[in-house]
Amino acid sequence: MTDNLAIEEEFISTASISSSILKYREENGRTYHAYKDGRKLDLQHHMMAMTLGGKLYLAPIPKEQKLHRVADLGTGTGIWAIDFADEHPESQVLGVDLSPIQPAFLPPNCTFEVDDIEEPWTYKFKFEFLHLGFMLGSLSDWPKCFRQCYEGLNPGGWIEIQDFNPLIQDNDNSFPPNYTKLGQPLDSPTWYKQQMEEAGFLNVIETKFKWPQNRWPKDPKMRELGKASHRSWMYENFSGGVQGLSMALFTRGLGWSAQEVETFLVDVRKDMKDTKIHGYYTI
């Protein structure tokens, strides 16, 4: 049996999936974890690749280091895992997600599994590289997740998490005065570095980028990124999908009715298109 086949068997031999994982919660007419439209996840991937100059990751992994097993946790449509598998045919890549929405035609070194990464890991092997992309709001216990990631890596292994702070920021006070009244921030990305260090990781590097919310920047590169944000990722994920982002948070957290949320979002959609508001997201 070849090493690749042995690794693939190990992927398949993990514990059976609880049927509860396949039951998607439905609230306010929306299905969470089902990702009815995976386009926004692919748009996030392309925006990140644009930000990183076409790279899939920034981790300074030595060229001579062998990445036998790689996992993309919260893989979504699987686009990152597939691209990585294409770039690294020597690696066995596993994508893990709660939703079975990945394509059927895959590189031979890429597999997918429906599982909950917050549950105890049951793999019989460890990884050399773990990737998590845009998982904000998806996990209830980040410190636990980082501990499991640390334990799931071989010595000398790497982890990279790419995420964003959903609070729109500005440098020139161009936001309306009542912006801070929107509620408590979802700021878990600001704690990632500390939590990773507490889990045992060494040499944790935090690199920040800005994504303009629309085409307001004058700098050509940032303006181009802002155009892409407005036309694709921001519009699809927030303006077009702003109901999905806000409905669960406002109804569960603040006790609003679905109608109250919809009324509030009318102005939110307008503000996201307003180039007088020089907002950006921190990536």
Q: Give 54 or 11, the one with higher predicted confidence.
A: 54
| Nearest residue to 234 (alpha-carbon basis) of 52, 47, 78, 76 | 47
pLDDT at res. 250: 77
Confidence of residue 172 (pLDDT cuts 50, 70, 90): low
Task: For 214-242, write each residue's pLDDT tens digit.
Answer: 777 788 777 777 776 766 555 555 544 56
Between CA 27 and CA 43 the distance in angstroms is 25
Confidence of residue 37 (pLDDT cuts 50, 70, 90): low
Give the strand pairing for 280-282 and 210-212. Answer: antiparallel
Amino acid at 44: Q
Calculate mean pLDDT across residues 145-152.
98
Between CA 14 and CA 40 the distance in angstroms is 30
- Which strands sit side by side in the sheet containing 92-97, from one edge to the other? 110-114, 92-97, 69-73, 127-133, 153-162
**Taking a C-beta distance cutoff of 8 angstroms, is the pair 47, 233 a contact?**
yes
pLDDT at res. 234: 52
Q: Give 13 or 209, the one with higher predicted confidence.
A: 209
In a domain, 227, yes or no: no
Domain of 89, CATH number, reads: 3.40.50.150
Between CA 168 and CA 14 the distance in angstroms is 40
In a domain, 145, yes or no: yes
In a domain, 193, yes or no: yes
Residues 6+ apart with CB under 8 A from 105: none
Task: For 110-123, write each residue's pLDDT tens digit.
Answer: 999 999 999 999 99
Weakest mean pLDDT among 48-57, 171-180, 221-230: 171-180
Amino acid at 199: A
Q: Give 74 or 246, the one with higher predicted confidence.
A: 74
**Taking a C-beta distance cutoff of 8 angstroms, is the pair 73, 131 a contact?**
yes
In a domain, 281, yes or no: no
Residue the block writes with tokens 């704690």: 191
Give the strand pairing for 25-27 and 210-212. Answer: unpaired
Task: Residue 186: give the domain boundaries.
Answer: 3-210
pTM of the model: 0.74
In a domain, 260, yes or no: no
pLDDT at res. 19: 40
**Measured in Å, how far apart are the chain's first and last C-alpha atoms?**
43
Q: In the chain, how many domains are there?
A: 1
